[in-house]
Amino acid sequence: MARIPTAAVAATGLVGGYGVARWTKKRQLGGAVLAVAGAAAAQQWRRQAGGRAAGALTAAYVAAFAGSHPLAKKVGAWPSVVGVAGAVALASWAVADRHAA
């Protein structure tokens, strides 16, 4: 079975979590999507790149979520979410995915 790149999992968690929260008007449901995707990515990061890298990427994922809120006030909600998701995806690819077999 083909493994989904962690960059895609992490970006989908950020974008999907926001989308679910916005469209359902249930922030907790969006948070659940964010958390499940983050946990799945973290497990894969640990397997592919080790504990230190997984910790750093998990911190980047959480920081992206937190940072998207003040950024949204400057550029808008969707551009903010897409921007931070892209940054986390790039970091994930650079640290874990490009080395994966």
Model pLDDT for residues 18-59, shown as the tens digit of each residue: 999 999 999 999 999 999 999 999 999 999 999 999 999 999
pLDDT band at residue 99, thresholds of 50, 70 and 90? confident
Q: What angle do CA 47, 48, 54 make, to 5 degrees?
A: 75
Q: What is the pLDDT of residue 3?
A: 83
As given in the structure block, the two tokens for residue 15 are: 């974008």
In SS3 terms, 53-85 reads as: HHHHHHHHHHHHHHHHHHHHHHHCHHHHHHHHH
Predicted TM-score (pTM) of this structure: 0.93
| C-alpha–C-alpha distance, residues 45 and 57, integer Å | 8
